[in-house]
Amino acid sequence: MRKALGPLFILGSLGGLAMAGCAQAQDGYVAQWPGFVVLVWQYQTPPPGPAAKAAYESVNLRGIHLDNGFPDELLQFAIANNYAYYVDHAAGKGDLYLRRDVWDQFVAGYRVDRARPVRPNCFLHGDVQQRMRDLLTENVTRARRGPVVAYAFDDEISVTSFTSPADVCWCDVCLGRFREWLAGQYGTVHALNAEWGTAYGTFAEAEPAQVDDLRDQHALPFDRWNLSPWCDHRAFMDTVWAETLAGLRDHTNALDGRAPAGFVGGQAPAAYGGYDYARLCDAVQWMEAYDIGGTNEILRSFWGQARPHLQTFFTSGDAERDRWFLWYYFVHGNRGVVGWPEGWFAGDEPQEVIRQLAPTLGELQGPLSTLLTSARLRHDRIAVYYSQPSIRVSWFMDIQPHGSTWINRSSSLNNDNATDLLNRWAWAKLLEDCGLQYEFVSYLKVAAQGLSRDRYDLLILPRTLALSDREADAIRAFAAAGGAVVADYLPGVFDEHGKGRLAGALDDLFGVRRDPSAGVLDGQSIAEVNGELYDRPLAERLSYEGALRDGIGVAYERGLAATDGEAAREVGGTAVRVRRPAGAGQALYLNLTPIEYLLQRTTGGAEWRRLVAGLAEQAGVRPPVAVRVDGQDTPTVECLLWEVGDRTLLCIVANPLRLAGTDAAESGAEVLGGPARRLELAFAKAPRRVANLRTRAELPPGGTVTDQWVPCEANLYEVAW
């Protein structure tokens, strides 16, 4: 179990806190951050003093954490040794994070009476906000005297608990603010009634719906669903949660404007918990978030390197797997890790589990430490859509097998069984396995600014169930200007409030028509992943028995017909892979679910890769580098190109499936051990120079370059064309 865990960072060996080059965010915030840094959480660690200094530095650790109410002795230890630190629980514990006993007591009552649930310690109450500001003032004022790198309000914060469901909050403050928010969203009560299907006389009468009020819709076709009274409440809670964090950020910045303010223990994107990353990324200035549901690449996409994002590091007991973890997240742009040091020390002596990692910790905190601080990932002009309204609707579909026990769909259960998480993960791995890099785009930014053809050639809509008219117009405009748009299934069959449409918002773009009464998958199941079977392997949880199959995979919709689009084929009367020219661009409606690819990528999956690589090529997108290991094509080795000024850096790293958790080392990753292997890099355009930055070897230039690669580490090259 994670015990108030915070982030672990690895600090550069160039001496303490000399700041690396800074990257500037779009809103002007500049992250003053050292290179890749390991911050050791103070748990089972040596007490501060000369013996602790010797123990840390013998294994290349020069960063720690301070906690709310930290002893002056620990602060002085960090200052005396110039150790980087962040301050955890700087706004206290128990408000942004509900303690286990408080949450358990709330849930016990909620199971009995689900009417108008009130969040304990509601974060919108003035006394709660004042308490958090007072603690921030005390902690920041004390900590700012030394080499602080960041302030974390709290750990594993949530509107509920992690991402577990509860329709909070119905307190008077929240309901009053919700009604004001509705007035701002809809303008008139007539517009609200038209969306919700209600007959309120004023906004002051409006009441949000709860899950149990709407579960009967599971028996209806999607065009007759109306989740808007529930979705709007969830959107409101996400909004005021982000606004609360932004207020704490501003308060912290006023006390110390040098170090970023944010939180640690971030959760997966979800319907509950406040985890709308499109909003959170505007609210805070750094984050340590578990890599569940693509959070690492979402943060990289929304922030670039302007704001630090990190991982929690638990040792697995396998030194090679741990080395891979550190290298993988380094080359993916993370600015450090937060180390949970259980078993690292016995008294003042480092144990073997950490001694084996000392060379890696030293190298990552050495001259390489600042390599990616101001870098920009060169994506292959591919945009992947991030839609929080779709995540909400997807969750409501997923709970169908649970019936009235949906309240037991805990955060951990949802992480393993949420269709939207698995779908997003499958698309990410498909693109990476095709040698392609991508960037997530926010539904909020698309609605406000559209989609840039100067930046993207290909847009992928992964389980993008809910779209506003404005978003749909922006996607059409992107295609009309020459972009390619690919959807897997059901794009925009709901509006942004969760109300079903008879025709999807983009059906005209794709040239399709559907019969909602025909259903999806086997015609009966709504949840693609059956969470009631949570203790079985993923293959047995997928609702594919009785579903129609194309040669590539499972057809999702049963009643799909091509109108002015051209279907590659029909299976059981439903169209699959419908293509249509769209202005100067093109649109492709797969009507296929990619989740099975997660089970196939190391034992097959070639058909899926051929399909996706072909889609990209038709959009003018080709991988810049192809990888072979010991003479074999190796799709599960990833290439990342970073641009640093006028320099181009190429990173090569193993890319296994990693089932990240909130309380332990990763599980399910393939073994990443063994001796050095022969690496072949085939460049689409032959470089004139390739230099290995770790070995400092200049490699013979040409279309294909060979080198040695240790599978549990990363190769880093400077490439010039």
Summarize pLDDT for 227-266 with one digit per residue, the tens: 999 999 999 999 999 999 999 999 999 999 999 999 999 9
What does R_g of the chain's alpha carbons equal in angstroms?
25
Q: How many helices and strands in the chain, by DSSP H and E?
A: 22, 29
HSE on the CB side for 511, CA within 13 Å?
21
Phi and psi, residue 327, nearest 5°: -70, -40
The Cα 282–Cα 292 span in angstroms is: 20
The Cα 488–Cα 145 span in angstroms is: 53
Q: Provide the 3-class DSSP secondary structure of residue 692.
A: strand
Looking up tokens 């549901």 gives 293
Beta strands per DSSP E along 97-158? 148-155
The Cα 713–Cα 165 span in angstroms is: 39
Residue 520: DSSP 8-state = B
The token duo for 158 is 């949530």
The token duo for 595 is 């989740």
The Cα 162–Cα 637 span in angstroms is: 32
Mean pLDDT in runs of 10 for the chain (721 residues)? 31 32 46 88 97 98 98 98 98 98 96 94 98 98 97 98 98 98 98 98 98 98 98 98 98 96 98 98 97 96 96 94 96 97 96 97 96 96 98 98 97 97 98 98 98 97 98 98 98 98 97 97 97 96 97 96 96 97 97 97 92 97 97 95 96 90 59 88 96 97 95 97 94
The answer to whether 499 and 467 are in contact (CB under 8 A) is no
- DSSP-derived secondary structure for 132-146: HHHHHHHHHHHHTTS
320-359, pLDDT tens digit by residue? 999 999 999 999 999 999 999 999 999 999 999 999 999 9
Residue 455: DSSP 8-state = T
Output the pTM of the full model: 0.95
Which of 130, 136, 123 minimizes the C-alpha distance to 96?
123
> Is 116 exposed, middle or buried, given 0-12, 13-18 or 19+ CB atoms closer than 10 A?
middle
- DSSP-derived secondary structure for 562-608: ESSSEEEEEETTEEEEEEEEETTEEEEE--B--TTHHHHTTT--HHH
Phi and psi, residue 321, nearest 5°: -65, -40
Residue 472: DSSP 8-state = H
Residue 437: DSSP 8-state = -
- DSSP-derived secondary structure for 457-469: SEEEESS--B--H
Which domains occur in the chain, in start order?
382-618 (3.40.50.880), 625-720 (2.60.40.1180)
The predicted pLDDT at position 561 comes to 98
Residue 150: DSSP 8-state = E
The predicted pLDDT at position 8 comes to 26
* H or E element in which residue 110 lies: helix 100-112
The predicted pLDDT at position 25 comes to 45
Cis peptide before 169 (omega within 30 of 0): yes
163-181, pLDDT tens digit by residue? 999 999 999 999 999 999 9
- DSSP-derived secondary structure for 390-427: HHHHHHHHHTGGGGGGGGG--HHHHHHH-HHHHHHHHH
Region of residue 268 (phi > 0: left; psi between -120 and 50: alpha; otherwise: beta): beta
The answer to whether 31 and 286 are in contact (CB under 8 A) is yes
- Torsion angle of C-alpha atoms 720, 613, 295, 310, degrees rounded to 10: -20
Region of residue 273 (phi > 0: left; psi between -120 and 50: alpha; otherwise: beta): left
- Measured in residues, the chain has a length of 721
Looking up tokens 């070897």 gives 697
- Sheet containing 376-377: which strands, arranged edge to edge? 376-377, 637-644, 647-654, 715-720, 689-692, 698-699
Which of 33, 488, 18, 614 minimizes the C-alpha distance to 304?
33
The Cα 195–Cα 202 span in angstroms is: 15
The Cα 451–Cα 268 span in angstroms is: 25
> Is 569 exposed, middle or buried, given 0-12, 13-18 or 19+ CB atoms closer than 10 A?
exposed
The predicted pLDDT at position 322 comes to 95
The predicted pLDDT at position 658 comes to 83
Phi and psi, residue 330, nearest 5°: -60, -50
The Cα 652–Cα 708 span in angstroms is: 11
The predicted pLDDT at position 489 comes to 98
Phi and psi, residue 19, nearest 5°: -75, 140
The answer to whether 358 and 322 are in contact (CB under 8 A) is no
Q: Provide the 3-class DSSP secondary structure of residue 43.
A: coil
Determine the Cα angle at 439 with ends 436 and 444, to 5°: 155
The Cα 679–Cα 302 span in angstroms is: 32
